[in-house]
Amino acid sequence: MTDMPSADLRKVVRLKPKAEARAIRHGFPWVYADELVTDRRTQSLPPGALAVLEDGERRPLGLVTVNVKSKIIARMLDRDPEAVIDENWFAARLTRALDLRERLFDAPYYRLIHAEADGLPGVVIDRFGDAAVIQPNAAWAETHIDALAAALRKVTGVTTVIKNGTGRSRSLEGLPEETTVLAGGVSGPIPVLMNGATYMADVMGGQKTGLFYDQRPNHAFAARLAKGARVLDVFSHVGGFALAALAGGAESALAVDASAAALTLATEGAAASGVADRFATRQGDAFEVLEALGAEGARYDLVICDPPAFAPAKPALEAGLRAYERIARLAAPLVAPGGYLILCSCSHAADLSSFRNASARGIGRAGRRGQILHTGFAGPDHPLLPQLAESGYLKSLVFRLD
């Protein structure tokens, strides 16, 4: 159940003398590669190994997981340096997370574990009723996946557990990409009811875990604006904002996405929601479709653009902000006078101010002016760790255009 040796035999890693131990003591969960002493003993630790972290004066700070192949070389697991990482330890973290979600939601469809903010660094778990999808995006979680899956089944009662080992984060940890069934199984997409609409989640082959729960409150806000509206939902994935808008009384909705598979699921969701007669799709590159719609003179009362992360890390920030500006410039002319434009960003590196400025520049370059009505974020099943800005990645801006 655990690879932890007795306390007196545990490996020790140490911060460099000039590294800032105060941030760790105050809750910051990461140690970067240039902050840790990487002597021969540390270099020999396998990815995901557990060790006691000490400050420059050899005072213990807690139990960490170490991956010398990653820029985030150590992640804090427990402030108790003698903690044992086993099924019981996972069960305690999962129980705490489950208690919150059961208070927030009437049905078991939500993000159960949001990585560092829920005390499991690099781990994401989304729940779909009797099924759960684990994304072990850090090497330590891969090492302990069996104990985690066993605790997950015990605490929640789910019968199906899927490991989705895909995505950029795993490559940064030196982990392979693979999706496997750890327990139970599924026969097809899972229907998920949110905001009055039914979404089809492909938990085996879809993007991420199969559905984006983080936008749930922003979908709800958009639905309030959608009554009687013509809606354009760009980067729609499996129906995203479009299905919520139709459930809110939209006259029609057009979903745009590059993925034919995602649009097929969106169409199935529209049928399951009873709104297929008001729903249409258009497959293609979002930028090209926006340009084409502009050339066609199309106009909508509500336009939403929810792209993938254009700036997932700082080196991509400038290019990412230019992409967000371009999206706003192409989308704004499609909004009818007095209509609404919702622009979203899930980029870690682009803070709210930078994203807002890029969006405003794009709207201005399109010759439009407007007001910001609302700023949205991820739902409460995606809690923020105050010391870690990256845990609050999602931003949503709602404009009303003149």
* Angle separating helix axes 286-296 and 317-331, nearest 10 degrees: 20
User: Do 306 and 394 reside in the same domain of the chain?
Assistant: yes
Question: CATH number, domain at 54?
Answer: 2.30.130.10
User: Do 352 and 306 reside in the same domain of the chain?
Assistant: yes
- β-pair partners for 132: 127, 161
* Angle separating helix axes 216-225 and 240-247, nearest 10 degrees: 50
What pLDDT, on a 0 to 100 scale, did the predictor assign at position 172? Answer: 81
pLDDT band at 284 (very low <50, low <70, confident <90, very high): very high
Domain boundary among 183, 215, 242: 183
User: Do 326 and 345 reside in the same domain of the chain?
Assistant: yes
Mean pLDDT, the chain, rounded, equals: 95
Helix or strand or coil: residue 140?
A: helix
How far apart are alpha carbons 41 and 28 in whole angstroms?
25
pLDDT, tens digit, for every residue of 302-344?
999 999 999 988 899 999 999 999 999 999 999 999 999 999 9
What pLDDT, on a 0 to 100 scale, did the predictor assign at position 19? Answer: 84
Residue 34 forms part of a structural domain = yes
User: Do 381 and 264 reside in the same domain of the chain?
Assistant: yes
Read off the pLDDT of each residue in 45-63 and give the average, rounded to a whole number.
95
Helix or strand or coil: residue 123?
A: strand
Residue 149 forms part of a structural domain = yes
Residue 166 forms part of a structural domain = yes
Which structural domain, as residue segments, surrounds residue 49?
Answer: 7-78
Residue 2 forms part of a structural domain = no
Residue 112 forms part of a structural domain = yes
User: Do 260 and 157 reside in the same domain of the chain?
Assistant: no
Question: CATH number, domain at 245?
Answer: 3.40.50.150
Percent helix, strand, coil in the chain, to 5, is 35, 30, 35
pLDDT band at 28 (very low <50, low <70, confident <90, very high): very high
pLDDT at residue 1 tops 60: no
User: Do 386 and 254 reside in the same domain of the chain?
Assistant: yes
Residue 1 forms part of a structural domain = no
User: Do 171 and 226 reside in the same domain of the chain?
Assistant: no
**Active-site annotation, residues:** 346
pLDDT at residue 388 tops 50: yes
User: Do 205 and 290 reside in the same domain of the chain?
Assistant: yes
Residue 39 forms part of a structural domain = yes
User: Do 174 and 208 reside in the same domain of the chain?
Assistant: no
Read off the pLDDT of each residue in 335-354 and give the average, rounded to a whole number.
96
Helix or strand or coil: residue 89?
A: helix
Total structural domains in the chain? 3
H or E element at residue 86 = none
Read off the pLDDT of each residue in 80-106 and give the average, rounded to a whole number.
97
Residue 319 forms part of a structural domain = yes
Instruction: Work out the percent of the chain whose per-residue pLDDT is above 90.
Output: 89
Domain boundary among 57, 78, 99: 78
User: Do 58 and 157 reside in the same domain of the chain?
Assistant: no
User: Do 141 and 253 reside in the same domain of the chain?
Assistant: no
Question: CATH number, domain at 168?
Answer: 3.30.750.80
pLDDT, tens digit, for every residue of 196-218?
999 999 999 888 899 999 999 99
User: Do 121 and 239 reside in the same domain of the chain?
Assistant: no
Domain boundary among 29, 46, 78: 78
